[in-house]
Chains A and B, each alone.
Chain A
Amino acid sequence: MVDLKGKLVLALGERDGVPAPTLQKCIESGGGQVIYAATQCFA
């Protein structure tokens, strides 16, 4: 387990896997701060 509290996170998602907005929700619920979120490709 990674303790996300206070961590700055780059969230890189996949369009047909786990996209960035979903990663962001998980990270923020664990106390991390997402400073960059992008999904490859754009949708």
Chain B
Amino acid sequence: MVRGARFVLAHVPGLVFCGSKPRREFAARDGDLRAMLRRRLRPFSAAVTYPPHQVMLGALAPEALRGIPRPWHLHPIVGAGPEGPAGTMIDEMTFYAWLARADTANLVHFTEEFALRLEGLGVTGRPTALTADRLARALADHGEPLYDRQETTVGVVVPGHEQDEALSAAVLLENLAAKVTGALALSRLLDDAQTPEINYLLGCGEEAVGDRYQRGGGNLAKAIGELAGVRTAGGADVKAFCAAPLHGLLMAGALVASGVHRRVVVVAGGSLAKLGMKFRGHLAADYPILEDVLAGVAIDVVADDGRSPVLRLDTATVHRIEDGVAPHQMAKALTLAPLQAAGLRMRDVDRYAVELHDPDITEPAGSGDVPAGNYQMIAALAAQSGEIARADMPAFVEAHGMPGFSPTQGHIASAIPYLPHAVAGLTGGALTRVQFIAKGSLFLGRMTTMGDGVSVLLERNPAR
């Protein structure tokens, strides 16, 4: 059973300068690219009222985005707040305070003035503060600067080892950012569930934690649990690119169903590297920089409680090595085949949760509308199998799909942003069945030409 899922969005405009794409573009090009980016960074209030973020927080249904003209940043939800039934949004100061609290190796330091302000938030004790001279020396000695939205240097992350690339300051900042956002999502989930005891944590983020002899050694799950105040759980990580959360969900379901553990939480932090990934497209379109949030997630998997939606493990499907990787082959293997095996029609699935990237982020960069492309493929499968007429494909997409609303945080965007909405719809709402479909681009790691994919059905509990 999936009892619930919670998200945390950390609005970190100052960290956009540390994203992989901005970092490389600044190094490769002259001119005022940094200043252009800085001028287009949003304040926290604009990030909170941004309609897709309100969907992530569960305060707005995905379908409601259809009624809001695009681009959505021009139509903020007036009066919207940073708390929703499915999650919480935090500002940059709060994030930095948690970064200080998460830093068990004493590698994160702030300016004296900023450290005082962070202490005042009550999240952490006084973080280590450096004088201006010492801060400058740390930055010159391979430190990674921490900025605010005005690109003022407010702190530094220093390397964990002077010769180890796996412990460089930039890598450590990525890993700490994942730890913080994962832990905050887990905390929010535990606060809402009001039952603190977890037996196992499965991490499924995109970070690579380790040293030179164990690059990507992992088990951030336990570090996330520790920071969130969990004491009863063990844990391990699942690695599968963007498909990892659904692989993790299947494993969590199996661990609970087999009786190995009573309660497993699948958890992941956000991807700092992807901040500002498409900033050049946003600058060209005169948009704000929309990739300015880190997203964390926690998914609660429990034994049957007579209420929570059922994870149909009998319909769990993974993309096999012998399966083809063309889009239609993957869609068929992950969508149609498991439904046919379960004796279901495609129309029997109320909603398909696919890669739910916010199209306002991807379209200005020329990447198109990713969920719309996926729904087109699913509708084509329904037409090809004779379930619907070709002319009914748009109506099928309208009825069984949804607009994209997720930040382009890779694993986070991969089907799971719909989980809180699905759980609500399958318990108190009108939904009966949702199929979750995730894909992963394994080929990006240069070890194979394969892709990957996972799908599973979530259904209303028969006891309801």
Contact = CB atoms under 8 A, between A and B. Distances in A.
A39 B366 CA distance: 10
27 contacts: A13-B366, A13-B367, A15-B277, A16-B20, A18-B366, A19-B367, A20-B368, A21-B366, A21-B367, A22-B366, A38-B327, A39-B367, A40-B441, A40-B444, A41-B242, A41-B410, A41-B441, A42-B370, A42-B439, A42-B441, A43-B355, A43-B357, A43-B361, A43-B362, A43-B370, A43-B408, A43-B413
Interface string A7-43: 0000001011011111000000000000010111111
A25 to B, nearest CB: 8
Q: For the complex, would chain B's binding face be called helix, strand, loop or mixed by DSSP majority?
A: mixed
Contacts of B242: 41-42
B460 interface: no
A19 B355 contact: no
Given A38-B327, A39-B368, A43-B370, 15 more contacts: A13-B367, A16-B21, A19-B365, A21-B366, A36-B326, A40-B444, A41-B241, A41-B441, A41-B444, A42-B242, A42-B370, A43-B355, A43-B357, A43-B367, A43-B413
A15 B408 CA distance: 11
B443 A40 contact: yes
Contact of B278 (A16, A40, A42): A16
Contacts of A20: 367-368
Nearest to B326: A36
A38 B443 CA distance: 13
Considering the complex of A and B, which 7 residue pairs feature the smallest CB-CB distances, nearest first? A22-B366, A41-B441, A19-B367, A21-B368, A43-B357, A19-B366, A16-B21
Contacts, number: 45
Interface size class of A (residues with CB under 8 A): 10 to 19
B317 to A, nearest CB: 18
A13 B278 CA distance: 14
Contacts of B370: 42-43
A13 B367 CA distance: 9
A42 B355 contact: yes
A18 to B, nearest CB: 7
Nearest to A40: B441
Contacts of B278: 16
Contacts of A22: 366
B134 to A, nearest CB: 35
Interface string B354-366: 0101000110011
B453 to A, nearest CB: 11
Nearest to B374: A42
A42 B241 CA distance: 11
Interface in B188-229: none
Contacts of A38: 327
B76 to A, nearest CB: 23
B367 A15 contact: yes
A22 B281 CA distance: 12
Interface string B220-253: 0000000000000000000001100000000000
A19 B21 CA distance: 14
A7 to B, nearest CB: 20
Nearest to B279: A16
Residue with the highest number of chain B CB atoms closer than 10 Å, among A13, A15, A20, A22: A15
